[in-house]
Structure 1
Amino acid sequence: MGVEVSRLSNGLTVATETLPSIESVALGAWVKSGARNEREDEHGMAHLLEHMAFKGTRRRSAFQIASEIENVGGEINAATSVETTSFYARVLSNDVPLAVDILADILQESEFDPEELEREQNVILQEIGAAHDTPDDVVFDHFTETAFRHQTIGRSILGTPETVQSFTSRQLHDFMERQYGAERMVMVAAGDVKHDEFVREVEKKLGSFRSKAENAAPQYAQYVGGDFRENRDLMDAQIVLGFEGRAYHVRDFYASQVLSMILGGGMSSRLFQEVREKRGLCYSVYAFHWGFSDTGIFGVHAATGQNDIAELVPVIVRELQRAGEAIAQEELDRARAQYRAGLIMSAESPASRASQIARQLLLFGRPIPKEELMERLGALTIERLTDLSSRLFSTRPTLAAVGPIGTLAPYEAVLDTLPGIEVAARKLAV
């Protein structure tokens, strides 16, 4: 049947997709507000708010929220990203009204009780500590902080112990009122769901939700790049090398996604074959491309022993440069097949499908048909990918490394292996 979309009088977008042979429904509210929407003194507040959403409302205690959804065999959760926050549930089709009621209760009636807040702040402090003890988490935090230095888009979503402990219930209420408006939210359901019935339930519970949020758009992101290193006494070294990527809306976004698959999207990818299989320089290596609303970042992550670090980075750089020289048709076809299979497989999961629809509505204002995505993939050519590679890997690099990294070449030496970078881009960030 495809995706059906309605808009309530307050501006809230409601979308559904019926999935055959599915007897459950994945549904949720997605808000166009995430970690980068925080003010300077609010670092970590979006994530704390997500945690506090299940800690009690005027109608339900924290236990009642959990027990009511689990009494019908359902589950409920939330997530915070750089640009969005989501509150979602999975239930059998008959229990959709209950799930909508609980989600609406959370969005409109959360109390942020001070005692619950103090307990949850301690939980997040433990989460921050656990992340600090996980080298592959630490290296990515420093990678984004270096790529987007002194900008909210580059900060850790978790916040710091100092900021998290400083927040009050009043600040959480103010943040939610400032950030959450119906015009910046979507309610999506996928699975055994009827559109008209779902719209009626959402209208009943959220039809009076405030229309507009007062918060201004986040600061426009500017990729900076640079170098971060932390010597730690570990068994292996975590290294991330990255470059300025592409935003969701630009022409090269899907080409960048496919390029990341060609370079490091599986065991047949260039980096895996050259770095791991042929040279044995690391036990893990992959490429990724993250798109945001106004920027992006393309990177390669590798985990290796200290004896192989000196050789590893030059080999990775060379493989990136080779992509600007030649890409085989077989590689492009394989990456297309991977991307297509991923889209089809995710469509078979109600939760994945609901999330995908919500993301498209928030970013593009409409659901993007699978056929349109396939057409975009089909339009990609070898010439376009090699041209993108030569431009992509000529931007100022971001290098982050954690572990026994004493033999890692200096940042300037890495720049010297990238002759395409302009002289101005070689200056280290202040």
Structure 2
Amino acid sequence: MTRTVRRPARPSRTEGRAAARPRALTRTLLPGENGAGTVRKTVLPGGLRVVTETVPSVRSVSFGIWAHVGSRDETPTLNGATHYLEHLLFKGTSRRSALDISAALDEVGGELNAFTAKEFTCYYARVLDSDLPLAIDVICDMLTDSLLLPEEVDAERGVILEEIAMTDDDPGDGVHDLFAQTMLGDSPLGRPVLGTAETVEALTRDRIARFYRKHYDPTRLVVTAAGNLDHATVVRRVRAAFDRAGALERTDAEPCAPRGGARTLRAAGRVGLLDRRTEQAHVVLGLPGVSRGDDRRWALSVLSTALGGGMSSRLFQEIREKRGLAYSVYSYTSGYADCGLFGIYAGCRPAQVQDVLAICREQLARIAEDGLTEDELRRATGQLAGATMLGLEDPGALMHRLGKSEICWGSQLSLDEMLSRMTSVTVEDVRQVAGEILDHRPSLAAIGHFTERQASRLENALA
């Protein structure tokens, strides 16, 4: 007897395509050596990006999710919403209570935290490599399925108001917010990341929830991880977590592009004073800097390092070592998508502010006119290169570099490329950027307890 075997009908080509799972696109951004330092990027259907760096020599992994939203995305009445939301995503999902979220990482000795900046927000964890699946599951759950319960919104409001009060009690920190406000005015970049007591009090659960739905779309998220990991495994687990929440249904969605803009910031001679009964006066003297995409940022970083970046810098030597006018003095740069800031901070007694400002302005004028010496250039580039290399030996720092690079530039520079950009800065490069940036009237922010005469002198210090 002949037996006939009936094979199941083969699906049509159209049916096969419909049933197939959309493919993720993976490529190697930086090859590394023997697998170490290899940076890979996968774009999942739905626009979610996953970028990892493999470091087989460690036993830990730092995992994070970056949201392409910061305080500059807020309207005046929403000021503080991004930071408020950062707090609320730790307060429970359909699967986990707030205690479950914190206990999950505590139980394995891991670290779980987040921060909000002006142009992005990051949620991250550091765990043993064997506990990476747990970290992925917890953080993905937080970002895709937060409940934002009304009672949690109300309870966390008090915590945030205390955080604002804590910042107000720390003038060494608050003076930088005052400087940004003095330079940028009542603009999204000029307003504080935390918001104010008034705006936080006025934020409702519904407004925060709308903000959450708008800005935590997968196209606006970047997943990063660095440490002892396998890229394909990270991608598979992240995809499963987002699929569970139904967050990758828009398979044709494209990732959000980095912010653009060509705004030129010009704020000369502005003064912001805030009276606080402090022993020290805290001052920031500054000028418009350059945007984070400006090629001059490398030369400006070298200039800032030579001016106030270490114990051998001009400001440290002139203000602290030679004259003993301040304990802490330094310079810094802040780059945003469309503008930047360059500032000098000092903490000193109110009676000595005028002397400190005079020295700062003298050094700015000298560098604007003459630039740096070859010795100063060599020390500054060496300091930058060494600090960069040492800082990136930690998986947490590597994870942060991956996320910030993808969010801000949409690309990754290798460590060798970064070092080359720093060490190739010349005396002429610094002289040119100094002439363009420093040869303007600076603005001033100061917090302290000043007499009427001292306050009047500060109001007119830049005239």
**How does the TM-score come out when normalised to structure 2?**
0.86
Is 2:377 the partner of 1:341?
no
Instruction: Give the secondary structure class of the aligned counterpart of 1:165.
Output: helix
2:83 alignment partner, one of 47, 50, 70: 47
Letter in 1 for 2:54: T
2:73 alignment partner, one of 13, 33, 37: 37
2:287 alignment partner, one of 230, 234, 243: 243
Per the TM alignment, residue 293 of structure 1 is displaced from its structure 2 partner at its CA by 1.2
Aligned mates of 2:76, 2:350 — CA distance in 1: 37
Aligned mates of 2:448, 2:429 — CA distance in 1: 37
Within 5 A, what are the aligned runs for 1:166-245? 166-207=202-243, 208-209=246-247, 211=253, 222-225=265-268, 226-245=270-289
Aligned mates of 1:290, 1:244 — CA distance in 2: 10
Equivalent in the alignment of 2:335: 291
Within 5 A, what are the aligned runs for 1:45-194? 45-194=81-230
Aligned mates of 1:41, 1:265 — CA distance in 2: 37
Letter in 2 for 1:17: E
**Aligned CA distance change for structure 1 residues 235 and 245 (closer, same or farther; 3 Å):** same
Letter in 2 for 1:70: D
Is 2:462 the partner of 1:414?
yes
Equivalent in the alignment of 2:298: 254
**Aligned CA distance change for structure 1 residues 114 and 144 (closer, same or farther; 3 Å):** same
Contact 2:171 2:447 in 1 (8 A): yes
**Aligned CA distance change for structure 1 residues 213 and 154 (closer, same or farther; 3 Å):** farther
Equivalent in the alignment of 2:51: 15
Instruction: Give the secondary structure class of the aligned counterpart of 1:78.
Output: strand
**Aligned CA distance change for structure 1 residues 125 and 321 (closer, same or farther; 3 Å):** same
**How does the TM-score come out when normalised to structure 1?**
0.92
Equivalent in the alignment of 1:272: 316
- Provide Cα deviations, 1:121-180, integer angstroms capped at 9, x if missing partner: 001111111111111122111111111001011111111112112222222221011112
Q: Which moves more between the two structures, 376-385 or 241-250?
A: 376-385
Is 2:437 the partner of 1:392?
yes
Contact 2:319 2:325 in 1 (8 A): yes
Equivalent in the alignment of 1:423: none
1:354 alignment partner, one of 396, 399, 402: 399
Letter in 2 for 1:209: A
How many residues of Structure 1 are paired with residues of Structure 2 in the alignment? 415
Q: Unmatched 5+ residue regions in structure 2?
A: 1-31, 33-37
Structure showing greater Rg: 2
Q: Unmatched 5+ residue regions in structure 1?
A: 416-430
Contact 2:283 2:446 in 1 (8 A): yes
Aligned mates of 2:110, 2:345 — CA distance in 1: 36
- Provide Cα deviations, 1:352-391, integer angstroms capped at 9, x if missing partner: 1100111011111111111111221232110110121122
Per the TM alignment, residue 285 of structure 1 is displaced from its structure 2 partner at its CA by 0.6
Cα RMSD (Å): 2.0
Instruction: Give the secondary structure class of the aligned counterpart of 1:152.
Output: coil
Q: Which moves more between the two structures, 388-397 or 312-321?
A: 388-397
Letter in 2 for 1:339: L
Letter in 2 for 1:224: A
Per the TM alignment, residue 411 of structure 1 is displaced from its structure 2 partner at its CA by 4.4
**Aligned CA distance change for structure 1 residues 165 and 326 (closer, same or farther; 3 Å):** closer
Contact 2:365 2:439 in 1 (8 A): no
- Provide Cα deviations, 1:49-96, integer angstroms capped at 9, x if missing partner: 001111011111000111112222212111100100011111111211
Instruction: Give the secondary structure class of the aligned counterpart of 2:189.
Output: helix
Aligned mates of 2:299, 2:288 — CA distance in 1: 14
**Aligned CA distance change for structure 1 residues 106 and 218 (closer, same or farther; 3 Å):** farther
2:410 alignment partner, one of 365, 379, 382: 365
Letter in 1 for 2:308: G
Per the TM alignment, residue 349 of structure 1 is displaced from its structure 2 partner at its CA by 0.8
1:331 alignment partner, one of 361, 376, 379: 376
Per the TM alignment, residue 246 of structure 1 is displaced from its structure 2 partner at its CA by 0.7
Aligned mates of 1:233, 1:12 — CA distance in 2: 49
Aligned mates of 1:77, 1:230 — CA distance in 2: 32
Per the TM alignment, residue 219 of structure 1 is displaced from its structure 2 partner at its CA by 8.8
